[in-house]
Structure formats: structure tokens, C-alpha cells
Amino acid sequence: MNTTGTGEPIVIVGAGIAGMTAAFRLQQAGHPVRILEAEDRAGGRMRTVERRGYHMDLAAILLIENYTQMLNLVRDLGIEDTTLRTNNVVGIRRDGRVHHVRANKPTDLKSSGLLPWSSVPAMRRLQSDLNKFGSRLRWDSDMGEAASLDTETAAAYAERRLDKDFRDYVVDPMSAMFFNSPPDLSVVNFLFSMPAVNSEWFNFHDRVDTLTTALAARLPVETGAEVTLVEETSDGVRVHWSRAGEPDHVEEAAAAVVALPGPIAARLCPGMAPASRTYLENVPYVPDIHVYFGVDNKPSETATCVLFPTREHPDLGVITFNHNFAPGRAPQGHGLLTSYYRYPWAIRHWDSDDDKVVELTHEVHRQAWPELARHIEAHQDMAYVQRWKNAVILRKPGDYARLREFSRGLDPRSRIQLAGDYLAFSATNSSLVTGERAAVRVREVVTAGSVSVGRG
């Protein structure tokens, strides 16, 4: 069934989780779709590569069971059997020791010895704030309701409501999961991530991009197609794209969903209102550099990841033990570890070549965790450096209010609708939700358009 009335497809720009979810939902509703993707593979920041039998999830790695919309998508794709509930033990390093906390058992913060008895009242205050504000911190929200909470940094909140131990050994290392530090980060990110992480976790057997691969298999994705311009015409959109060695391509479409990081979307959509474009150009992404190490002997650590408070190391944020996250990440008996930095390190070392980054990372391991450094150096059989220029968004206080203004300023009747992580909390599930939302709006626009075409 073609409900656009024109026979033209709806073009989706960007085959990340946001774009492909939009396309899938539109296709389910009977609209012809076509996806244009610049890279030679779909998936964006939910993608996995394989080297020497190691499956490296290049960006997203942690999925939680309160990703309701993602689980619905998994069900609608019929791939439930590719998922499993996984280990959710997080390690936090304090005074050279790893304290183990099950993500859905906040009381482990105390029983593991990470926090002292004196922090119990702070834990209660945090729980009470989460109960009070929880309804404003939802995955399916556009974060508009969270804007009213967005008045201070995570550090200031920790000092005002919690205590020093909580600030240094919970709030600070949690912010490292977003490559940030509490002095920068909005309290909303901390409050949002507490109940989010405080859940059972799930994942896909073998590789996290099982989801994006399943989507791509059901959708017409044109890879190697770098879109350069998306413009609205009187009755549709015109999309310009290029591929090396070919003349420039121009396609007409009924409408478009532009599902790209904000600054790229700004460049491609010059027809947007100036205030909206300025917002998009300045979405505050931070870069990330992280390094994978394959080892031929699995280390004894049982946590999925170990977080490093700034007091333990100023630059290293997290080491993940990918083989503990879910099966299939490393060959039998081997381990796969990944070291993530806080973003200022990535900025400082952006121009260093991969060999240098690996060498620096060994040195950082020696400073932060000497026994593990020795294990990695003795057993390393693979190292791989991954960089993301637009990794995640560093939300400072006031950013969610600006996001709310931006979202309110967008034209719901435009034939160009936006999707992507910058429209919500910067993670896979919220990106997916922005894709679903864009699909609904685009359907309304093309349906109204086909009625008016009929009338004309």
C-alpha cells in the first residue's frame, strides 16, 4: 500500500538506530522508504567489527531492560531469541581495590564497602529525589519535563544533597560512563542515569549490532551515499547525495527524516529557521577515543566494567571486560577489554596515531591498575583504537531548557523531520524513540499532503 499518494518514497538520511527505526516504522505502516547512508555499513554508533575472532562493539555496549521501546522493536522484528539477560555487576575502584555493585541493588554501594555507613542518609536522600523526579526522567520523553531540574551540575547537586564519598565514588565515576566529569555535567544526566542503570541488563548474543543488522536486512539501505543537501520543495523534498567516482545524485521524495548528529544535520538542511540551525550547529558533542585489547588469557575480574573515580586516575574513565558483558565477544578462553577516557584526554590526543594511543594506554594502565596492566601486556594478541568525533553529548546545566526551546521551535508540518540522540538523552533507546516520533510526524505530513494533492 502506498499512502503518500505520489509513489515517491520517504527518504531517511542516516542508517543509525534512529534512522532505521523511523524507516522500519514507516515501512510497517505501508510507506515506501529508502535510506541513504554515508558509510559502507549501516548501524552508526550501534555497530560491531570483528578482528581475529574478537567482536568489538564500537560504541553502544550496555543495554538495559527498561529500554522498553528497544525491546518492543526486538519483538516486532521477531529476533527475541538473539537476546539474553546479562551480568550487571559494575566495579568501582577505590584505594586500589575494586568494589562490586550489582546495578539493580543500590544497597551494594554500602555492603561492598565502597561507601561508608555515614553515607546511608545520602543514599536515602537520593532515593527520595529519584522517587520525586522519576516521572520527568523517561526514555520516551523529549526531556522537556526534565528541563525544570536542570539548574545545577552533578557536582553541585552531590555537594548540596549527598555527601563527599557519594560525590567522589558514585557521582564522579558514573559521569565517566558519559566520558564527562561532574563539574561539567548537568545533574539531569546523573539523575537520569541512576534509575536507568539501576535495572537488569540485557544484550544480544555475540554482538550488539544484531539489532541494527536485523533492521538493515529488512530495509532498502543505500550505503556509500553521502547526503550533501536536503531541501523542501512545494510538494516534497529534494535530496542531493554523492559517491566517489559517480556524478552527483539528486532524488525527489515525498518527505525526509534526517537522522544525523546535530551539527551534520545543520549543514545538510540550510532551509531550516536560523535559530534552529544555530542550535543544531552547536549541539555540544564530545569526542571519544577508546582502545580494545584482546588477550589470550581471560583476566580474573568478574565485573562487566570497572569505573575509575578521578581520585583514582584523572583521565581513565572505564575499563570494560567485554567478555563479561555477554557471550561471544572473545574466542574461548580469551578476554576482550576496552579502556575509555574522559573526553579532555580524547581532545588532547586526537591527532596521535594509533600506535601512540596504544602505548599511552599501557602507561595509563600501569598507573591506574598495575596488576591488570601486567596481565594485558603479558597476554595481548590484539589492540584496536576507535575514535568518535561526535560521541555523546555533554549536557551542561541549562542545556535541557535550550533543547526544549529548540524542539518547540521545530515545524511539525515540515516535510523534513529530525531524529537523533541530540533530541533526547544521548543513548540508543532514546535515539530509537526520536526515530519513532519522526516517523509519526512524517506520516501525518505526507498523509495530509496526499489529501491536498487529491483536492488540487
Ligand X SMILES: Cc1cc2nc3c(=O)[nH]c(=O)nc-3n(C[C@H](O)[C@H](O)[C@H](O)COP(=O)(O)OP(=O)(O)OC[C@H]3O[C@@H](n4cnc5c(N)ncnc54)[C@H](O)[C@@H]3O)c2cc1C
Give residues in contact with ligand X (CB under 6 A): 13-19, 36-39, 44-46, 59-62, 226-227, 259-261, 264, 288, 388, 391-392, 420-421, 426-429, 431
Q: In angstroms, rounded to a whole number, what is the distance separating the alpha carbons of residues 418 and 134?
A: 26
Q: How far is the CB of 117 from ligand X (least distance, A)?
A: 32
Q: How far is CA 258 from the centre of its chain?
A: 17
Q: Are 54 and 63 in contact (CB under 8 A)?
A: no
SS3 sequence of the chain: CCCCCCCCCEEEECCCHHHHHHHHHHHHCCCCEEEECCCCCCCCCCCEEEECCEEEECCCCCEECCCHHHHHHHHHHCCHHHEEEECCEEEEEECCEEEEEECCCCCHHHHCCCCCHHHHHHHHHHHHHHHHHHHHCCCCCCCCHHHHHCCCEHHHHHHHHCCHHHHHHHHHHHHHCCCCCCCCCEHHHHHHHHHHHCCCEEEECCCCCHHHHHHHHHCCEECCCEEEEEEECCCCEEEEEECCCCCCEEEEECEEEEECCHHHHHHHCCCCCHHHHHHHHCCCEEEEEEEEEEECCCCCCCCCEEECCCCCCCCEEEEEEHHHHCCCCCCCCCEEEEEEECHHHHHHCCCCCHHHHHHHHHHHHHHHCHHHHHHHHHHEEEEEEEEEEEEEECCCCCHHHHHHHHHHHCCCCCCEEEECHHHCCCCHHHHHHHHHHHHHHHHHHHHHHHHHHHHC
Q: How far is the CB of 322 from ligand X (least distance, A)?
A: 11
Q: In angstroms, rounded to a whole number, what is the distance separating the alpha carbons of residues 260 and 285?
A: 12
Q: How far is the CB of 331 from ligand X (least distance, A)?
A: 23
Q: Are 400 and 41 in contact (CB under 8 A)?
A: no
Q: CB nearer to ligand X: give 35 or 126.
A: 35
Q: CB nearer to ligand X: give 420 or 449.
A: 420
Q: In the sheet that 83-86 helps form, which strands lie side by side, from edge to edge?
A: 63-64, 201-204, 83-86
Q: CB nearer to ligand X: give 59 or 109.
A: 59
Q: CB nearer to ligand X: give 288 or 312.
A: 288
Angle between helices 120-133 and 154-161 (to 10 degrees): 120
Q: CB nearer to ligand X: give 38 or 147.
A: 38
Q: How far is the CB of 264 from ligand X (least distance, A)?
A: 5
Q: How far is the CB of 251 from ligand X (least distance, A)?
A: 13
Q: CB nearer to ligand X: give 59 or 383.
A: 59
Q: CB nearer to ligand X: give 16 or 397.
A: 16
Q: CB nearer to ligand X: give 259 or 360.
A: 259
Q: How far is the CB of 56 from ligand X (least distance, A)?
A: 11
Q: CB nearer to ligand X: give 166 or 285.
A: 285
Q: How far is the CB of 419 from ligand X (least distance, A)?
A: 7
Q: Are 352 and 304 in contact (CB under 8 A)?
A: no
Q: How far is the CB of 96 from ligand X (least distance, A)?
A: 26
Q: CB nearer to ligand X: give 119 or 407.
A: 407
Q: CB nearer to ligand X: give 246 or 371.
A: 246
Q: How far is the CB of 451 from ligand X (least distance, A)?
A: 31
Q: How far is the CB of 202 from ligand X (least distance, A)?
A: 12
Which residue type, as a one-letter code, is found at position 195? Answer: P
Q: How far is the CB of 290 from ligand X (least distance, A)?
A: 6
